[in-house]
Structure 1
Amino acid sequence: MRAHYLQHVPFEGLGSIEVWLRDAGYEITSTQFYESSELPKVEEIDLLVVMGGSMSVNDEQEYPWLVNEKKFIKSVIEARKPILGICLGAQLIANSMGGEVFPNSVKEIGWFPIHATKSTKNAVFQFPEETEVFHWHGETFSLPLGAVPIAESKGCKNQAFQIGTKVIGLQFHIETALSSAKAIVDNCRDELVKGEYIQTEVEILSAPQERYSSINNLMGNILEYLHKNND
């Protein structure tokens, strides 16, 4: 089995996703757009992970590779391959399937709770009723056709969505470890301005290890769900 991931900036890697994929027996390959925009053939991969980044999905003039990336993501979805999107990755999935991406009413940066969305659909991943997760985003998205909302928060209505049983997009980061949280802070410190849903650097980095373990376990549950639906 081959898992391919799309990385947009050097400081936002796979985190706990890499550990889970290796333990599950996946060969891992990547496209790192800050070095090369070469993409694999859709039929060569069994799972796609689309990571976060500091750019917007709308920045196609500044980052022209976004055009082909969105086409690739749509092709993977149409080929019924499992795909997971994290933050920018979720926005790219939504946009590639017809959703719009635009500034959220507030930025969410730091540790804030999400809540499972009450849904009438049965074939969706079930989030806990409430979970504290790590956020770093200023934009949000409209749900594309066929998407089911599966998580929300007070600061952002669309926190997670699912399309069928093979596509999950997360607006937040649950792959994060302390080292990767530090890396984002170091590279995006200028965004830590006072706001209702913006924590200070000290507040962000003082989260206990148990919180990282909790979100990483949740990330593993999502990957297991997608893995089982890879038929």
Structure 2
Amino acid sequence: MKQNLRVHCFQHTACDNLNSCRELLLTHHAQVSTTEFFALPTEIALDIEALPNIQDVDLLIVMGGKIHAEDEANYPWLKIEKRWIRRYIALKKPVLGLCVGGQIIASALGAPVLKNERYTMSWNRVQSVANLPNDCFKMPQEMHVMSLSQDISALPKGAISLATNENFQNSCYQIGRNILGFQFSLEITQDGLTEFLDEAENIFDTEQSFIQLKNAPKDYFLNSHRVLEQAIEYVLQP
């Protein structure tokens, strides 16, 4: 990873932050800035000029959040965020989408985001898609990932599905070499997951299911962080 990288983060919920990703970026002396969409009053229209100058961003990371990627009625800034993303992608700049962030990128590129009946909060096993072109991003053959979402997006035009599981056919997708969308949370840490789950504890059917999520094997987190680091390196390659 090149030094002094200018990284910008689109954040949609206070507890859905960069987590492990921030430590990695700061290790490489990256300059990290954030747009906190969750802090914007919904009744005030956001001007696209209030977002960073695209030329000043080397890597965009679109985070998750407790929102539906197409709920522009309740979150009017989503329209502006997607417009900015389209302009950014048109310049073939690198971008990662994590969880809902992957769905926002897909929606910005015209793919529908489908709403499931229940919010998914679980460790899911995903498998890499076989027989992909050699230059595609390589997901592990199998890994456990944290899903914190109610929705799933279809593949945007030109996208390649990289991973799948029994619930979501397109768990991870790639467009060109500069766009990776993960419909799960690679950046999550044990502390970050605890914070997220503490806010959502009342939705669990039993206390046991809540505890099982919090006490997942450490390898689940470490493997996710390793794939995230590899993903950042991949989209930054010329």
TM-score of the two chains, using structure 2 as the length reference: 0.89
Correspondence for 2:66: 54
Tell me, what secondary structure is at the counterpart of 1:52? coil
Amino acid paired to 1:150: L
Kept in 2: contact 1:85–1:168 (CA 8 A) = yes
- Does residue 45 (structure 1) correspond to residue 57 (structure 2)? The answer is yes
Match of 2:104 among 92, 105, 129: 92
Shift of 1:184: 1.4
Amino acid paired to 2:125: P
Correspondence for 1:27: 31
Correspondence for 1:122: 134
Alignment deviations for residues 137-186 of structure 1 (CA, whole Å, 9 cap, x no partner): 11101111100000111111110000000000000111111111011112
Task: Structure 2: state its 5+ residue gaps.
Answer: 41-45
Correspondence for 1:136: 148
Correspondence for 1:192: 204
How many residues end up aligned between the 2 structures? 225
Task: Please provide the CA RMSD for this pair.
Answer: 1.7
Kept in 2: contact 1:108–1:155 (CA 8 A) = no
Correspondence for 1:16: 20
Correspondence for 2:88: 76
Correspondence for 1:206: 215
Amino acid paired to 1:126: K
Tell me, what secondary structure is at the counterpart of 1:168? strand
Distance (Å, rounded) in 1 between the aligned partners of 2:150 and 2:219? 26
Q: Percent identity?
A: 29
Alignment deviations for residues 108-145 of structure 1 (CA, whole Å, 9 cap, x no partner): 32112100012432221111110011111111011111
- Does residue 3 (structure 1) correspond to residue 7 (structure 2)? The answer is yes
Kept in 1: contact 2:70–2:107 (CA 8 A) = no
Distance (Å, rounded) in 1 between the aligned partners of 2:232 and 2:93? 13
Distance (Å, rounded) in 2 between the aligned partners of 1:156 and 1:193? 23
Shift of 1:76: 1.1
Distance (Å, rounded) in 1 between the aligned partners of 2:169 and 2:184? 12
